[in-house]
Structure 1
């Protein structure tokens, strides 16, 4: 039996099954309101732009009108190259991303004749890079630079030509800071404004060398699943942004924010709100991993790139006790390879020890780059290595401790609780802008405290009182000591804020700033003992300075429990209201993702017991 369908059904079926060759054309008014066009112009929610460079705007309008800019762009694209300009100065060569989108969404034939311009510099740049995919790279926090304590983000442009990812190009966003800038001015301008900022392109090996080899920071590469059209669009837009200036603000309009905005060009939903009060690199990385792109996950792979120091300690943990012993003998005896302990080893053990010691000296040279003795030691090691057979004896063994940058607790915190002292009880509510403290789970920096705007309010007699406000509270109680040389690690802490001078008074507030230096000892992977000496200055209350000493330990009891015990003594002879001694114990129970329960006991003249429920979140 032969079935014959009406002819019109055939054409309807063909129409439904045939993919559209191009997007439906839009009018100028429609496209000026297109989200992608507005993203190309970096338009804020208030219709102003994040970009401050006048040359970026072809319309020259002060209010950055999107329709006026679209009309001016189309007009500039139609113009022939004049005698007084090179092809590379033409609008098509300056704004290839605009050209790409306009040709896709607008019927340009209705607006005159367009002649494609040959753009030598742009085409050379694209040909050299030959970008076929993009990656987001997260660099771990760097305690030696206030602007890098929270980590850093940049883009990696993956090339189809490259045999090594080190030869790929990368795009960085940062403040334009004078080389000899005063550190205090640097911090103030970074927070309150005063610096221009912009994008710059460098080969990835330069960032890898700076972050992994010099600053000894771990990297995580997030491979992004984007179509070639969108890879080209972002790449073209990067070309448009090189040399363009923005305002820089460390807390919100920072590297994480503008890298996110660059990626949002090809995403349907925002990674970060334009109105976010603060933006953390870890938050952007987390949003990426939760994001979908064309019905698939946006992030297809996460690659861990350990720093030289992480590699060293990974290698060190692979050594047997006898290998560690021989390595220590070599270090203590200026790498004298004639000793019997070394000579009696089998070849494999010699290879392993030499490889670890070469890694060790590489890290030591970063910390003391002008030390000629270290260079001589390295030459000794290399000569000894050349005697041994070829081949790599150790490989980096990845483990669950190398958590990617987006994992861990969100940075911001709300808390509610109750406190009870010897004389009265009160409720508490709290807020912390960011980031983590000594007892946080999932922190990338063990035994480190990085907190900003940590506020705790007491609810007493139907009134709110400030119990404490830490504007900044930064402490690094453990920096990895030199293997085979140092038993103790350097430790330091700085806090600036407002507090009540004792537990019995909620109307005895005082501003303060304190700093401490000391040493710590790592008992095992879970427990640290520390001792600090320092001073605390009180402002607004007799303007006195007290000397202080602190001794304490921090330990991880299991996957859900951490505790801290600290004893401190202060020379408070000018402040009778302050006790000379203070004992503080804190227990953290991480009972659910983004939630924890904290118990606190404090002894200072009187007893204070408190319990707080903390909820962690981010934008």
Structure 2
């Protein structure tokens, strides 16, 4: 029983313990905002008036509220109750037996295994461009026994009317509250692997049932509780590390300043803390379709494509001429392609009829021996997310040195291991140049530079696109350049032949350059290029032509070659030639690139 007459504990000492600090979400210095205070931004979470800034005062108020038996505050804070009961020796047979709502909720929470899930990058969603992380509660450690699993997610509470650019802006400025939520994991599989075509990596955590119980109890305490949400640091990945730390408070998960918390760095932090027991790969439906298509030759793929649109071709001589196992593969590919193409929207009776007909063809032809899908390199084995560069070059007869820093993350020609082929996301890329005549100058500042080379194939025909905004030295006149702001982008198409990605984009550009005439110009044109992405070397060529409304044009061609020399280092060579009106500028450079976290 609780000893009401017992002297009060040493609240200051207890509040300094790692578990209470984790339960209060106290900032240990991982971000610059509010060091030593709670990350929680909701008065409903605190029992003391100054609980956000004073963990000891919050602990005293919690002790006073939780000590009475059968008190309703216990039902609100079951993790806090467990903390005090263990620390103070409270001994009750069923201290939460009166908490009907909490106990009913707990019945839905399996406590067999806790898994971190990393859906790969999805460039068409600003909140998932770097990938995403969530937690999964399983009843058993069986990898396919997830039908009753629960997904734990943290996300910004954004209005449905916010467009992508407004979402990014408010996310950077902390304009959204963030909350934890618990849903069915099967829904997440459908959203990520089927609708968004994202591979999923699953990391089973080495937490026992008692540690997972801490996490689940605390989740109940966080229902409807608001945190500040910041796109770069206090995001989904950051909050999940906080939650895992409730289960194992001594784990070094929140050490050091976290200027940018990316999902891949969260995975690396779990490995560094020795918390990963097993890693599993779950391919997307598009990945499964691609692997199945690779088992067929060109004629068989063409027949499967025709079969998708007209299942009656299964009765043709052309189809019957193939061996039964090949017919099985073609019908299976046609069926999966049909389901993937019609994965959204209301049920279509014609699609249902075709699906049933194709399934019958699959069933009446024997299946060949299965071939497991070979997983790509896991995200955490890729290069670091930050980069520093040192280079030298020559432009129009003048030598220069260059220095650069990129906050994040990966461009088309960086080492490919662990990254999504054809995808590039760069943020805050600063390049400085020391010219032998002009001295130190800002060569460019890329605020955002995103490219999606989404290959088109027989069965999936996505749209490629790019957007690029920042500052750069732009041509003005008489071989001179000046710093100007710009935003450019456009849709396009790309294809894939092994490691080769040819592409074409329509381009629109708005720029404002000091000293130019006019100082603001709107242009349009096209870009064509080829990117080669292999693990041993990456290279690309491109040509971009723009015609501006102020009756001048610009043509830029470029060549890039990147040679990885170690896991975190690479050499890069670049040459470009730009012409406008009657002027031109040519330059080449070589740089050393070092990646780090």
Report the TM-score, using the length of structure 2 for normalisation.
Answer: 0.89
Q: Which protein has the larger Cα radius of gyration, Structure 1 or Structure 2?
A: 1
Correspondent of 2:498 among 495, 519, 525: 525
Asked whether the equivalents of residues 456 and 494 of structure 2 are also in contact (C-alpha less than 8 Å), the reply is no
- The alpha carbon displacement at 1:375 in A equals 3.6
Alignment of 1:369-384 (within 5 A): 373-384=350-361
Correspondent of 2:19 among 7, 25, 36: 36
SS at match of 1:177: coil
2:143 is the counterpart of 1:149: no
- The residue number in structure 2 matching 1:180 is 161
Correspondent of 2:176 among 195, 211, 220: 195
- The residue number in structure 1 matching 2:422 is 447
2:342 is the counterpart of 1:365: yes
- The residue number in structure 1 matching 2:532 is 555
- The residue number in structure 2 matching 1:72 is 61
SS at match of 1:141: coil
SS at match of 2:313: coil
- The residue number in structure 2 matching 1:56 is 45
Structure 1 residues 358 and 333, CA, compared in 2 at 3 Å: closer, same or farther? closer
- The residue number in structure 2 matching 1:311 is 288
Correspondent of 1:291 among 263, 273, 281: 273
- Worse-matched range after superposition: 337-346 or 371-380: 371-380
Correspondent of 1:481 among 444, 457, 465: 457
2:266 is the counterpart of 1:277: no
Give, in whole Å, the separation in 1 of the partners of 2:318 and 2:60.
Answer: 79
Q: Mind listing any 5+ residue stretches in structure 1 that lack a counterpart?
A: 1-24, 82-86, 293-297
Asked whether the equivalents of residues 120 and 132 of structure 2 are also in contact (C-alpha less than 8 Å), the reply is yes
- The residue number in structure 1 matching 2:32 is none
Structure 1 residues 289 and 75, CA, compared in 2 at 3 Å: closer, same or farther? same
Give, in whole Å, the separation in 2 of the partners of 1:124 and 1:496.
Answer: 51
Alignment of 1:213-292 (within 5 A): 213-265=194-246, 266-273=248-255, 275-292=257-274
- The residue number in structure 1 matching 2:85 is 103
Asked whether the equivalents of residues 355 and 393 of structure 1 are also in contact (C-alpha less than 8 Å), the reply is no
Structure 1 residues 505 and 263, CA, compared in 2 at 3 Å: closer, same or farther? farther
1:552-594 Cα deviation digits (max 9, x unpaired): 11113x5321101112222258486xx7322211110111011
SS at match of 1:165: coil
CA RMSD of aligned residues (A): 2.7
Alignment of 1:396-435 (within 5 A): 397-400=372-375, 402-435=376-409
- The alpha carbon displacement at 1:132 in A equals 2.0
Structure 1 residues 369 and 289, CA, compared in 2 at 3 Å: closer, same or farther? farther
Asked whether the equivalents of residues 550 and 567 of structure 1 are also in contact (C-alpha less than 8 Å), the reply is yes
Give, in whole Å, the separation in 2 of the partners of 1:396 and 1:494.
Answer: 39
Structure 1 residues 238 and 167, CA, compared in 2 at 3 Å: closer, same or farther? same
- The alpha carbon displacement at 1:547 in A equals 2.1
- The residue number in structure 1 matching 2:149 is 168
Structure 1 residues 184 and 347, CA, compared in 2 at 3 Å: closer, same or farther? same
Asked whether the equivalents of residues 352 and 394 of structure 1 are also in contact (C-alpha less than 8 Å), the reply is no
Q: Mind listing any 5+ residue stretches in structure 2 that lack a counterpart?
A: 1-7, 29-34, 579-583
Correspondent of 1:593 among 563, 567, 589: 567
Asked whether the equivalents of residues 315 and 394 of structure 1 are also in contact (C-alpha less than 8 Å), the reply is no
Structure 1 residues 514 and 57, CA, compared in 2 at 3 Å: closer, same or farther? same
1:308-355 Cα deviation digits (max 9, x unpaired): 111111111122455335324424656432211223444333322222
Asked whether the equivalents of residues 380 and 418 of structure 2 are also in contact (C-alpha less than 8 Å), the reply is no
1:374-394 Cα deviation digits (max 9, x unpaired): 3442233134345x16x7656
Give, in whole Å, the separation in 2 of the partners of 1:63 and 1:550.
Answer: 53
- The alpha carbon displacement at 1:278 in A equals 1.2
Correspondent of 1:497 among 440, 449, 470: 470
- The alpha carbon displacement at 1:26 in A equals 7.8
Give, in whole Å, the separation in 2 of the partners of 1:26 and 1:95.
Answer: 19
- The residue number in structure 1 matching 2:442 is 466
SS at match of 2:315: coil
- The residue number in structure 2 matching 1:583 is 557
Report the TM-score, using the length of structure 1 for normalisation.
Answer: 0.86
1:191-217 Cα deviation digits (max 9, x unpaired): 112211111001211111111111111
SS at match of 2:520: coil
1:151-193 Cα deviation digits (max 9, x unpaired): 0000011114988213211200001122233444322211112
SS at match of 2:108: helix
2:186 is the counterpart of 1:205: yes
